[in-house]
Amino acid sequence: MIVRVSTESRDQRKRGGPGGSPPKGGPARRWARLPIPRDWVPALRYCAAVYLVVRVALFVLAAAAWGLGSEQPSSMPNGQPLPLTNGWHNIFTDWDKLDANWFLYIAEHGYSSQGGTGAFFPGYPMLVRAVGYLCLGHLLLAAYLVSNGALLAALVVLYRLTEREYDQATARRAVLYLAIFPTAVFLFGLYSESLFLLTAVAACYLARRGRWGWAGLAGVGAGLTRSMGVVLALALAVEAIHQTIEDRRGRAAGNADPAGRLGTAALRLGASLLPLAGTAGYLLFWQLRYHDWYRPISLQKIWWQRQLSLPWLTLWHGLSLAVRDGSLGDQAWPTFDFVLVGVGLAVGIWVALRARPIYAVYTWGGILLFLSEAWPARPLSSDPRFLVVIFPLAWALARLGRRPGWHEGVVAVSAASLAVVTWLFLTTMAVF
Amino acid sequence: MTASITASRDRDLAAWRSARLNDLREWLPGLRYCATVYLVVRIALVVLGAAAWGLTSEHDSVGPDGSVPRLTNGWHNAITGWDKQDSLWFLQIAAHGYRPGNDSAAFYPGYPMLIRLVGYLCLGHLLLAAYLVSNGALLAALVILYRLTEREYDLATARRAVLYLAIFPTAFFLFDTYSEALFLLFAVAALALARRGHWWWAGLAGVGATLTRSTGVVLVAALAVEAVQQTITDRRGAGTGSGRRRSAARAAVRLGASVLPLAGIGGYLLFWQLRYHDWYQPVRLENSVWGRVFWTPWHTLWRGLVMAWQYGPDAGAGWWTLDFVLVAAGLALAVWVAVRARPVYAVYCWGSIVLFLCTAWPDRPLMSDPRFLVVLFPLVWPLARLGRRAGWHEGIVAVSAASMAIVGWLFLSTTLVF
């Protein structure tokens, strides 16, 4: 990604930049040798540190879960149970379960008209396969490289975006809170969430900087990675309109060319629709290859028993089950789902009220999309995972974290929740 | 004349009141901060109790009489889910007292005695009384730790120290119906009082500590070391003659007060001698019932390490590794205390560590030791000092809170964390 050096960053170079001037022979000098714009270095350094600490902690947790829990073998896409064996390798291989199995299966064997592979969008498995060639066919390693590389990049872009929208302190907190979000385990695991997060946050960042062509391309990546990419198209469209209105207000006093303004607006709106090309391209692949473009959508019902539902009905049903089963031993999964989704919704209200419309639309579009499909037996299942890619939620917490004592509270509660959710993901088959 | 005496008395009384009010005001920020930290962690642990009940199939804990208390569905599990293992013993002793044949002697009387007393005020609801005693003691201990840390270091370190202790990986034992919180209160109070020169009060707090847990005897050594250090400091500034004689008298008082905690443990053994003619029973039970044997500390550690490595990668057999990792982290912190803290704290930490490493269960040598670490409050100081550096504070909070959540979860959902 090419990033134009802004006037601000040129000034920062003159005075040593936000990270300070690099001393000779120091670590900053080593960073300076990397082909990274200098104003990205503090973000990269901070995000890499946060990423590494959480990454190591999660590997340790996997070792603990293997040693102290009683894990159940995950079922592979071909119906066979994934064999479990004793050994320290479980630190890495333990994460290969549930959807991760599907992604690795698709990366290895491709799609099939039989089975449920069509429900998994191709962005992540495609990249796993591509990186797998560089890893001499070791797909698990490739899957880690893709998802974790995407996560690190997403954190860096989020840092820069937050810095632009708020300030540096909020950016640092937002990155930290996202990395220890209760369901952040899916960003570090072999799931497609981190790749989607990268494409989504990059699309928003590029759109905010006025790089609409690149934003649209990032959106195509999002559309190829998860079905939620369609929401990104809507969010970008809102931003396109917002920028056009801002332009009109800004140039009202001047003598700007109305035709030029209209052209720019059309360009933005055109770029904002690009993410749909990702989703459409995938459906086209199914049509051309298997003559069934609807298969990826129909599988949600056929294979995963997800049914269309009104968002408020999904929530109400989720709440009813949460209250009914909450106090029953080993049966409180609906409560677990509801509590996490409830917190996400509460934080989402802040985004709707206080954040720029593009983020409010992305947040609520994403939430409404996943609430529109529900598995009747457990209406909010998977929804806590879907929340983790809705990055503006971290801003609400990051703003709250400015108050004395709240920062520690958010860190402690979030890290503890992440630990428990990860534990449940590793030791049960009920967190997906 | 009478009027002037009365006026003078009034002035003295007003001055005394003003001084006490000032004292209270000094404690207020500490109390406010500690109460907030306590409340947040307390609520989080109740939620964890509910989650562990709802999301796992909990194992029944065997009661002191061999019965298995029936687990029932309901929100009450958020609170009662924590009432297991040693908690059951303390409640049994509070309800029925000691019996020579039921192995209860291994549990020191301070905590169950207080539960029984507070139980009268709670109309006989002993579980409520147990929570009131342990949680009240914990809150008081946190406030005293805050003040002590402020004295030894500074305000920022005090705030971090309190927070880190409240989310220490095994801190849920402090919030639970175990005797750790009460012991912590007595221990931190004894050392804080000794540091302020209130030696008799320090000795009395030490008596409370030894009535609560056997490791209270380490306080004798710690207080004695502090007594010697204060005397040396006095002598340096005393000059010659009467100053030195006064210094010697004060040293005798301090040393006398520092051995007071032995009265607590002596009293408990005396009770067993007078009541059941067997003063050795509380000591013997550690071996005969709990299977603990005397090993040298390094042998216990070595065996712990060997078993941790041997069983670590096996499914469901990582308990040795859990023990070792937590104890090793505690030992690393204790090295800092030995090198950088005042001798009284170094002696308290290392005396306790050596004591619990000397009694090991051969099948799981470091079992329970992670719990014993949580009362060694000076261990949070190295973390609190480290937390000054940018980014480290967040790291410590996140790792510690996550560890406590997992260890707490294991306590709630298995019967293998003691």
List, for residues A211-246, the tens digit of each pLDDT value.
Answer: 999 999 999 999 999 999 999 999 999 999 999 999
- A398, A400, A403, A19: which is closest to A173 by C-alpha? A398
- A82 contacts in chain B (CB < 8 Å): none
A182: pLDDT strictly greater than 90: yes
Phi first, then psi: give them for residue B99, nearest 5 degrees.
-135, 140
User: Residue type at B196?
Assistant: R
- What per-residue confidence (pLDDT) applies to A28? 55
Q: Which residues are bridge partners to A401 per DSSP?
A: none
- B388 pLDDT band, cuts 50/70/90, is very high
pLDDT in the model for residue B347: 98
Tell me the pLDDT band of A18, cut-offs 50, 70 and 90.
Answer: very low
Residues A214, A157: Cα–Cα separation, whole Å: 14
Residue A223 belongs to what H/E stretch? helix A212-225
Residues in A 155-184 with any Cβ partner in B closer than 8 A: 176, 180
- Spatial distance between the Cα atoms of A240 and A247, rounded to a whole number of angstroms: 10
Q: pLDDT tens digits, residue range A332-359?
A: 999 999 999 999 999 999 999 999 999 9
Residue A8: predicted pLDDT: 39
Q: Which string of b and e fits A367-396 if b means at least 16 CB within 10 Å? A: bebbbebbbeebbbbbbbbbbbbbbbbbbb
Contacts of B393 in chain A (CB under 8 A): 408
Q: Among positive and negative, which fits the CA dihedral B12, B14, B18, B24?
A: positive
pLDDT of residue A254: 57
Strands A307-308, B359-360: pairing is unpaired
At position B149, the amino acid (one-letter code) is T
Which residues on A lie below 8 Å from B401 (Cβ)?
Answer: 411-413, 415-416, 419
Taking the C-alpha atoms of residue B52 and residue B381, their distance in angstroms, rounded to an integer, is 31
Q: What is the 3-state secondary structure (H, E, C) of B239-256?
A: CCCHHHHHHHHHHHHHHH
| CA–CA distance, A352 with A344 (Å, rounded to integer) | 12
Q: What are phi and psi of A75, to 5 degrees?
A: -85, 135
pLDDT higher than 80, residue A311: yes
Enumerate the residues of chain B whose CB falls inside 8 A of the CB of residue A61: 402, 406
Average pLDDT, integer, range B233-249: 79
How far does CA A252 lie from the centroid of its chain? 38
The rounded Cα A342 to chain-centroid distance in angstroms is 19
Mean pLDDT over B173-186 rounds to 98
CB contact under 8 A, B311 and A67: yes
Predicted local distance difference test score (pLDDT) of residue A31 = 59
The model's pLDDT over A388-397, given as tens digits with 9 standing for 90+, comes to 999 999 999 9
Q: What is the 3-state secondary structure (H, E, C) of chain B?
A: CHHHHHHHHHHHHHHHHHHHHHHHHHHHHHHHHHHHHHHHHHHHHHHHHHHHHHHCCCCCCCCCCCCCCCCCCCCCHHHHCCCCCHHHHHHHHHHHCCCCCCCHHHCCCHHHHHHHHHHHHCCCCHHHHHHHHHHHHHHHHHHHHHHHHHHHCCHHHHHHHHHHHHCCCCCHHHHCCCCHHHHHHHHHHHHHHHHCCCHHHHHHHHHHHHHHCHHHHHHHHHHHHHHHHHHHHHHHHHCCCHHHHHHHHHHHHHHHHHCCCHHHHHHHHHHHHHHHCCCCHHHHHHHHCCCCEECCHHHHHHHHHHHHHHHCCCCCCCHHHHHHHHHHHHHHHHHHHHHHCCHHHHHHHHHHHHHHHHEEECCECCCCHHHHHCCCHHHHHHHHHHCCCCCHHHHHHHHHHHHHHHHHHHHHHCCCCC
Is residue A20 predicted with pLDDT exceeding 50? Answer: no
Tell me which chain A residues have a C-beta less than 8 angstroms from the C-beta of B417. none
Per the rule left: phi > 0, alpha: psi between -120 and 50, beta: everything else, A79 is left
A273 in Cβ contact with A207 (< 8 Å): no
pLDDT at A380: 96
Q: How many beta carbons lie within 10 A of that of residue B20, not counting itself? A: 10
- A415 contact B CB<8A: yes
For residue A11, the model assigns a pLDDT of 40
How many Cβ pairs closer than 8 A exist between chain A and B? 138
CA-nearest of A115, A89, A93 to A102 is: A115
Q: A252 falls in which pLDDT band (50, 70, 90)?
A: low
A426, A65, A68: which is closest to B416 by C-alpha? A68
Whether A131 has a pLDDT exceeding 50, the answer reads yes
**Cβ–Cβ contacts within 10 Å for residue A425, how many?**
24
Give the list of residues 6+ apart from residue A109 with CB closer than 8 angstroms, or none. none
User: Cβ of B312 and A63 within 8 Å?
Assistant: yes
Instruction: Give me the residue from A61, A67, A419 closest to B312, CB to CB.
Output: A67
Alpha carbons A218 and A239: distance in angstroms, whole number = 15
Q: Percent of chain B having pLDDT more than 70?
A: 99
pLDDT higher than 90, residue A122: yes
Average pLDDT value for residue range A370-381: 94
Average pLDDT estimate for B167-190: 98
pLDDT at position A34: 66
Give yes or no for residue B390 having a pLDDT over 90.
no
Instruction: Provide long-range contacts, Cβ within 8 A and 24+ apart, for B390-397.
Output: B391/A49, B393/A408, B393/B160, B394/A176, B394/A407, B394/A411, B395/A53, B396/B164, B397/A408, B397/A411, B397/A412, B397/A415, B397/B163, B397/B164, B397/B167
Residue B344 has pLDDT above 80, yes or no: yes
- Does residue B63 register a pLDDT over 70? yes
Q: Is pLDDT of B384 > 70?
A: yes
Residue type, position A168, single letter? Q
Show the tokens assigned to B296: 């040298």
Give the residue on B whose Cα is nearest the Cα of A47: B391
Adjacent-strand bridge partners of A308 = A373
pLDDT of the residue at A33: 66
What is the pLDDT at residue A9?
Answer: 41
DSSP state of A81: B
Interface residue of A50, A397, A420 to substitute, partner B, most B CBs within 10 Å: A420
Measured over the CA atoms of residue B219, residue B225, residue B231 and residue B236, the dihedral's sign is negative
Mean pLDDT score, B259-271: 96
| Range A9-14, long-range pairs (CB < 8 A, 24+ positions) | A9/A37, A9/A38, A9/A39, A12/A38, A12/A39, A13/A38
Asked which of B307-311, B374-378, B381-385 is least confident by mean pLDDT, the reply is B307-311
| Residue A5: pLDDT band with limits 50, 70, 90 | very low
Average pLDDT, stretch A355-380?
96
pLDDT at B131 over 80: yes
Cα(A104)–Cα(A286) distance, rounded to whole angstroms?
19
B195–chain A nearest CA distance, Å: 30
pLDDT at B222: 98
B344/chain A closest Cα distance in angstroms? 31
Percent over 90 (pLDDT), chain A: 76
Task: Over range B339-361, report the average pLDDT.
Answer: 96
Asked whether the predicted pLDDT for residue B408 surpasses 50, the reply is yes
Q: Which of A329, A414, A419 sits opposite B53 (nearest CB)?
A: A329
- Which chain A positions have a beta carbon within 8 Å of B397's beta carbon? 408, 411-412, 415
H or E element: which one contains A373? strand A373-374
Question: Are the C-beta atoms of B167 and B397 separated by less than 8 Å?
Answer: yes
Band of pLDDT at residue B59, cut at 50, 70 and 90:
confident
Distance from CA of A335 to the nearest CA of B (A): 8
Which has the minimum average pLDDT: A148-162, A249-263, A338-352, B356-370?
Answer: A249-263
Calpha distance B75→B124 (Å, rounded): 22
Which of A317-326, B102-111, B232-241 comes out lowest in average pLDDT?
Answer: B232-241
Residues of A whose CB is below 8 A from B318: 63-64, 66-68
Q: What is the mean pLDDT of residues A55-63?
A: 96
The answer to whether A409 contacts chain B (CB < 8 Å) is yes
pLDDT tens per residue across span B284-343: 887 777 788 899 999 999 999 999 999 988 888 999 999 999 999 999 999 999 999 999
Q: How confident is the model over A68-91, as a mean pLDDT?
A: 82
Q: How many CA atoms lie within 13 A of A314 on its CB side?
A: 25
Tell me the per-residue pLDDT of A41-53, one tens digit each, with 9 for 90 and over: 999 999 999 999 9
Place A13 in a pLDDT band, splitting at 50, 70 and 90.
very low
Phi, psi (deg, nearest 5) at residue B364: -150, 80
Looking at mean pLDDT, say which of A245-254, B6-15, B128-137 comes out highest: B128-137
**Mean of the per-residue pLDDT values of chain B:** 93
Cβ within 8 Å, pair A329-B44: no
